[in-house]
Structure 1
């Protein structure tokens, strides 16, 4: 983990229809990341957006 991981530990991830995952951005707080997900979801585009913390394992 480096300094930027500590300062911006929250990721917004987009997953496409084929299961490919892309980092949309990094944020200092979960609240900021959740706000971005809400804005992206509000566009009506049928992609899956999620918030993850760096170092968090997903299953």
Structure 2
């Protein structure tokens, strides 16, 4: 139960914010424009959501 709470309340937001910080760094250093970072961040958040959902189901059973 504690693992599921940590996954939902701590790990998910950390992944989301990590992707946001990486995107900001890419824009600041000129590696990508805002549209590219938005596309990459959207895909990253979607992939992380699927992965965390799968992990939650594995931990539950």
Q: TM-score range by the shorter chain?
A: 0.3 to 0.5
Structure having the higher Rg: 2
Higher relative contact order (CA 8 A, sep 6+): 2
Normalised TM-score (structure 1): 0.36
Normalised TM-score (structure 2): 0.35
Higher strand share: 1
Higher helix share: 2
